[in-house]
């Protein structure tokens, strides 16, 4: 089956949602194994049926029921493993942690954001008392300082030392605090250095996603590496880029889930090109989503995952619409960039409005211009990574482009097109996506209508 992971992911999610919100009972792992054995025993149709049911049961087995009612205000105990590099957060440290043990059994094996006065090492285990609060639909654990204890974990210490060495060199040779803040976000995945005014400009213009390393950044880095290595053989360029993508999330980008997800997709894509394999991009997307959801079922409830997934899904579904051919290559690239920005904004808009109750139509045009600046910035960042940020003029040239990157966001923010107090409930979000999928499939045959209607829709969005 060409689309086996699309089906597998759908049934896995159904299993997780069924246990999370409907019925929660204990099932044996042996029962799931038996279902998979039956899938091997039968022919085509019955095999697919049992395989799908087995995946559904796997999702059900892995899921944790959602808490009902208010979160308790009493301090609780947690033991968890630190999964990300701690970032400065209003005078404290913020990091992601995987819960290993807790007096609240329904919190076990879930990922949580920890806010603490203590700065732990990544991949270490921490033991703490604190209070749990909910923010933007995600759980946060606020640690009481006197009760925290760290159990050291020296795994991957070599990669951690590389990252710290690169950051120290960048800090020494960067032009100023502003360029250091942008570089820390775009290269090392740490936005804690950004001042409030800069953050606000990117938030209000809908460009804040460009300050988080994700699929777009990884795609540009892949293109940059392939270009730099073009004087070598194609096989060497692919192998070198694959190795870089395997190291990049650990040693540079802060071990963030979106970076790991995007890097894995890049590795699989390059491997398929190296082996001359015809891989369905949708199936590849669903495979990566399936893998991360099996490892952490709470992934499907993460807003960052949802936004990146629907954006890539929408772009893959719209690839024929994006296939614009013009005599002028620069105009063709510009039109395609606007279309990519528009489609990504259109597919992510319902989730943004539902969660944050605001939307900025300027992001559609602003993203295009910012990406044009981001490409040379990331090109130089790759060169700086390989030169260990020791060549000051090269670092400063990248910094100058970083300043233009900030000024462009502030320029679009000056238009003041941000719309607030918008609302979309869950039913309306689902209905929006159903209509969007149907419309995209239909519009593949009517690209001219789509492109002529593009500016009309932009005007409507601007009237929000």
* pLDDT tens-place values along the chain, 464 residues long: 567 888 888 899 899 888 888 887 888 889 888 988 888 887 777 888 888 899 999 998 888 776 544 556 678 888 888 888 888 787 888 888 888 888 777 777 778 889 988 888 877 888 888 888 876 557 789 988 656 666 665 555 677 788 888 989 999 999 888 899 999 989 888 888 888 888 888 888 888 878 888 777 888 888 888 888 888 888 888 889 999 988 888 778 877 778 888 888 888 888 877 766 667 788 888 888 898 888 888 888 887 788 888 888 888 888 777 777 777 776 777 777 777 777 888 888 888 888 877 777 787 778 878 888 888 898 899 999 999 999 999 999 999 999 999 999 989 888 877 777 778 888 888 888 888 877 777 766 555 445 445 444 444 444 33
368, two tokens: 């295009």
pTM, to two decimals: 0.78
Map residue 99 onto helix, strand or coil: strand
The β-bridge relationship of strands 125-135 and 138-143 is antiparallel
Per-residue pLDDT at 403: 93
Length of the chain: 464
Q: Which CATH class is domain 76-155?
A: mainly beta
Q: What is the pLDDT of residue 169?
A: 93
Write the secondary structure of 152-174 as one string of H (helix), E (strand) and C (coil): CCCCCHHHHHHHHHHHHHHHHHC
Give Cα separations from 74 to 77, 105, 131, 290 (angstroms).
10, 15, 6, 36
The secondary element (H helix, E strand) that includes residue 76 is: strand 76-82
**95 pairs with which residues across the strands?**
114
CB atoms within 10 A of CB 179: 21
What pLDDT score does 451 carry? 47
Alpha-carbon distance 158 to 122, whole Å? Answer: 12
- Residue 277: what pLDDT? 61
Residue 141 CA to residue 133 CA, distance in Å, equals 7
**Cα-Cα-Cα-Cα dihedral sign, residues 303, 134, 67, 70:** negative
**Segments making up each domain of the chain, as ranges:** 4-62, 76-155, 163-462
């Amino acid at each position: 089956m060409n689309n086996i992971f699309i089906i597998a992911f759908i049934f896995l999610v159904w299993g997780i949602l069924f246990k999370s919100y409907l019925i929660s009972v204990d099932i044996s792992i042996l029962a799931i194994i038996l279902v998979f054995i039956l899938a091997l025993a039968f022919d085509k149709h019955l095999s697919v049926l049992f395989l799908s049911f087995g995946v559904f049961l796997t999702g059900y087995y892995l899921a944790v029921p959602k808490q009902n009612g208010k979160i308790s205000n009493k301090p609780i105990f947690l033991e968890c493993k630190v999964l990300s590099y701690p970032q400065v957060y209003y005078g404290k440290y913020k990091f992601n942690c995987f819960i290993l043990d807790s007096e609240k059994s329904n919190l076990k094996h879930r990922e949580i954001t920890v806010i603490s006065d203590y700065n732990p090492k990544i991949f270490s285990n921490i033991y703490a008392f604190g209070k749990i609060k909910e923010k933007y639909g995600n759980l946060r654990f606020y640690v009481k300082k006197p009760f925290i204890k760290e159990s050291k974990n020296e795994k991957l210490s070599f990669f951690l030392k590389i990252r710290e060495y690169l950051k120290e060199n960048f800090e020494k040779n960067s032009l100023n605090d502003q360029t250091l803040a942008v570089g820390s976000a775009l290269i090392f995945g740490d936005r804690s250095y950004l001042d409030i005014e800069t953050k606000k400009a990117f938030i209000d213009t809908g460009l804040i996603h460009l300050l988080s390393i994700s699929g777009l950044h990884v795609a540009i880095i892949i293109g940059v590496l392939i270009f730099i290595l073009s004087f070598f053989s194609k096989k060497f360029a692919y192998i070198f880029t694959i190795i870089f993508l395997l190291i990049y999330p650990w040693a540079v980008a802060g071990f963030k889930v979106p970076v790991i997800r995007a890097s894995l997709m890049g590795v699989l894509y390059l491997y398929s090109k190296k082996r001359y394999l015809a891989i369905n991009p949708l199936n590849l997307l669903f495979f990566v989503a399936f893998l991360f959801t099996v490892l952490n079922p709470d992934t499907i409830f993460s807003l960052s995952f949802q936004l990146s997934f629907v954006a890539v899904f929408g772009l893959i579904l719209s690839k024929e619409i994006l296939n614009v051919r013009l005599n002028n290559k620069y105009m063709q690239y510009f039109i395609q960039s606007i279309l990519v920005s528009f489609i990504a904004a259109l597919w992510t808009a319902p989730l943004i409005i539902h969660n944050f109750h605001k939307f900025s139509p300027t992001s559609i045009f602003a993203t295009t211009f910012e990406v044009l600046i981001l490409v040379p910035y990331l090109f130089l960042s790759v060169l700086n990574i390989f030169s260990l940020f020791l060549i000051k003029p090269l670092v400063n040239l990248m910094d100058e482009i970083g300043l233009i990157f900030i000024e462009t966001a502030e320029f679009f923010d000056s238009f003041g097109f941000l719309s607030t107090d918008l609302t979309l409930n869950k039913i309306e979000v689902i209905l929006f996506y159903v209509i969007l999928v149907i419309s995209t499939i239909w519009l593949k045959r009517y690209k001219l209508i789509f492109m002529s209607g593009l500016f009309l829709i932009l005007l409507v969005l601007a009237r929000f």
